[in-house]
Structure 1
Amino acid sequence: MSDLAWIYQCLGQSTRAEELGAIALEKRKRIIGEDHPDTLLTMNNLAMIYQSLYQSIRAKELGDVVLEKRQRVLGEEHPDTLTVMNDLAWIYHGLGQSMKAEELGAIVLEKRKRIIGENHPETLRTMNALAIIYQSLDQCTRAKELGTVVLEKRKRILGEEHPDTLTTMSDLVWIYHCLGQSMKAEELGAIVLEKRERIIGEDHPETLRTMNTLAVICQSLDQCTRAKELGTVVLEKRKRILGEEHPDTLTVMSDLAWIYHRLGQSTRAEELGALALEKRKRIIGENHPETFANHEHSSIDIPIH
């Protein structure tokens, strides 16, 4: 049940994942106890599911509990302890606390490099997450340097079309965009989109995430008609697959509002932006970073690492 919850999460069906994960956690707590490794695994997975649903405060509360228990039971340098610490860094990033996220991510990276080596998949996963955190702190040059290292290693170790390689490539697309290198970002984004459509399908959450990022980049290059076409496709698919009020649906709705604005279709832009803002206020709260992003017209659509 716990494993199936995570499979639903990987399919982008976070609401179903949350339902199943919560049931598994309640049963495991009751049957094998709150400190059992399997209970803590389910709890940590559920924290990341909450994070993907933009319930970052709830995710942090759960993650803090898991970290305290794993540090006490397994020790501070056990691989499972470092996994939850890495996940907590990403949760802090989701809360807009990027300084705390960077601090935690740097600790995990140092420990993983020393304990399991610089080329281990988990080390590279931490390095990749840290690159995105640096980008959110406007340390885009540092983010690019780290992301480029991860991409080179993942290509060499895993191959050019491995999902983890494509994740790093996709993240570098946004980093290039934030550096003002939008032509390079568009070029790389188009490669990732083609590979993801071919390998995992046109409706997969990661494919749609790449398509939405590419729409935002096209808009920044004044290719607003193309941006609108891409964004409209993503919105229709996310509404159909995830529902009209899923956080990822609201992300593309917010981004599409800005694209309409750039096209001079202000009435449609206002209508779509207001709808996204109302839903975000109601679902994730007025003070959530994504709600603020809605006020600022655009938001970053980045996967959990």
Structure 2
Amino acid sequence: LTTRHDLARWRGELGDAAGAAAAFAEVLADRERVLGSDHPQTLTTRHDLARWRGELGDAAGAAAAFAEVLADRERVLGPDHPQTLTTRHDLAHWRGMAGDTFGTSAALAETLEAMERLLGRDHPRTLAARADLALWRGKTANAAWSVHAYGELLDDMLRVLGPEHPDTLATRDSHANWRGTSGDAEGAAAELAELLPDQEHVLGADHPQTLMTRHSLARWRGEAGDADGAARALAELLEDMVRVLGPDHLRTLAVRLDHAHWHGEAGDIAGAAHLLGKLLEDMVRVLGPDHPRVVTARQELRWRETGAGEPG
């Protein structure tokens, strides 16, 4: 069961969220039968299953599942157990993904205080909580605070984890993106251009995080004024996304949306509208007609078809 659990986790980390969720559901049924519902390993599988359900797009369902796991971990392991603290962290994160941005920031601040007290400021889980707090504080329209927080966190990650640790690379990516969000598109693009070869070296060219950095780099180059370069970079990235993650993966669809956007910004309004029309059909099929990304694609398509205003 432990091997099957680990295989399910790596399946998700490599981009197959649906496969990971299905595998964790199977492992959970067997662990409940063999070990019982309160066994720590059973609770761990429930925790991981909740995460990958969230990664599939059901943020509210993930938050509800994490709330149930948290109650059971507090009862079985105690409120100060490291695994309980991890579940508190993830519950706050997925509540934010479900829309409660301000509540998430407050919950993460409380969780971080407990982690620093119980685990220490340099513990990997504490560092992860600091990263999430920086993310959600930024989403409350405090981008400048997030740039500063990610900068401090990066210094600590370099000291504790080293420059090639995946979490250090992810923090560099986040710092660059919040720098762009705060208004410095050129600086964000420059940071991401430096990060990309390090990710390719450590993680590989086809790793999902490497692909996401290429996506962000194209975006900030576009925001810095190079719409044509952004469109070309996204066209190249799209081929790799389809090959690695598949045509219906959420991140592939996101790249298609940005590719169409920057195609239009580069001057080809009709071509952008054509790309968006085809994309919208696929997004409705995969996500349903009311998904927020479908709404965004519709707004972008209407804007391109009229050729006026700004997309909502």
The normalised TM-score by structure 1 is 0.91
2:89 paired with 1:66: no
For the aligned residue pairs, the C-alpha RMSD in angstroms reads 1.9
Pick closer, same or farther for the CA change 1:87–1:286 going to 2, 3 Å: farther
Q: 1:140 maps to what in 2?
A: 143
Q: 2:56 maps to what in 1?
A: 53
Please state how far the C-alpha of 1:31 moved relative to its aligned partner: 2.4
Deviations 1:111-156 (A, max 9, x none): 0111111111111110011111112111111111211111000111
2:161 paired with 1:158: yes
Please state how far the C-alpha of 1:39 moved relative to its aligned partner: 1.2
1:101-112 aligned at under 5 Å gives the runs: 101-112=104-115
Cα distance in 1 between the residues matched to 2:175 and 2:136: 12
Counterpart AA for 1:145: H
Contact 1:2/1:21 (8 A) holds in 2: yes
Pick closer, same or farther for the CA change 1:103–1:257 going to 2, 3 Å: same
Gaps of 5+ in 2: 301-312
The normalised TM-score by structure 2 is 0.89
Q: 1:211 maps to what in 2?
A: 214
Cα distance in 2 between the residues matched to 1:75 and 1:289: 38
Deviations 1:90-113 (A, max 9, x none): 212222321121122111111011
Counterpart AA for 1:79: P
2:276 paired with 1:273: yes
Q: 2:310 maps to what in 1?
A: none
Please state how far the C-alpha of 1:277 moved relative to its aligned partner: 3.8
Which one is further off, 284-293 or 151-160?
A: 284-293
Cα distance in 1 between the residues matched to 2:85 and 2:283: 32
Larger radius of gyration: 2
Pick closer, same or farther for the CA change 1:285–1:74 going to 2, 3 Å: farther
Gaps of 5+ in 1: 298-305
1:96-135 aligned at under 5 Å gives the runs: 96-135=99-138
Pick closer, same or farther for the CA change 1:54–1:274 going to 2, 3 Å: farther
If asked which structure has higher relative contact order (CA below 8 Å, sep 6+), I would say 1
Q: Equivalent pairs: percent with the same residue?
A: 32
1:150-189 aligned at under 5 Å gives the runs: 150-189=153-192
Q: 2:303 maps to what in 1?
A: none
Task: Give SS of 1:117's match.
Answer: coil
Cα distance in 2 between the residues matched to 1:274 and 1:89: 36
Query: Which residue of the other structure, out of 233, 236, 239, is the alignment partner of 2:239?
Result: 236
Cα distance in 2 between the residues matched to 1:113 and 1:292: 40
Contact 2:101/2:139 (8 A) holds in 1: yes
2:224 paired with 1:221: yes
Which one is further off, 250-259 or 271-280?
A: 271-280
Cα distance in 2 between the residues matched to 1:100 and 1:288: 23
